[in-house]
Amino acid sequence: MILGGTNDLALGVPTETILAETRRTADAVGAPSVALAAIAPADGFAEQVVALNAGMEEFADDQGWTFVDPWRTVGSPDGA
């Protein structure tokens, strides 16, 4: 399972870069299958979290990976 992007998001790293690094990580370890996890809600970054998680879900689908979002049960990033 790959979980990453939270710190990058806080530093303003673009989604495309985060996804490219995720692909490089999977390639580097030679994983036969990959589960990509959504990042957790973060105060002050609600819109960015939603956008990144949506991008990650689409990216995982494009790669034939599994996307896991354990945070859906705790509400949206803005606390709703």
Per-residue pLDDT tens over the stretch 50-68 = 999 999 999 999 999 999 9
User: End-to-end CA distance of the chain, in Å?
Assistant: 27
Residue 25 in any domain: the answer is no
Residue 1 in any domain: the answer is no
Residue 14 in any domain: the answer is yes
pLDDT tens for 26-46 read 999 998 899 999 999 888 888
Query: What's the CA gap between 51 and 66, in Å, rounded?
Result: 18
Residue 27 in any domain: the answer is no
Residue 36 in any domain: the answer is yes
Residue 48 in any domain: the answer is yes
Question: What's the count of helices (H) and strands (E) in the chain, helices before strands?
Answer: 3, 2
Number of domains the chain is built from: 1
Residue 64 in any domain: the answer is yes
**Which residues form the domain of 47?**
6-20+32-74
Q: Which residues contact 17 (CB under 8 A, 6 or more apart)?
A: 8
Query: What's the CA gap between 26 and 2, in Å, rounded?
Result: 8
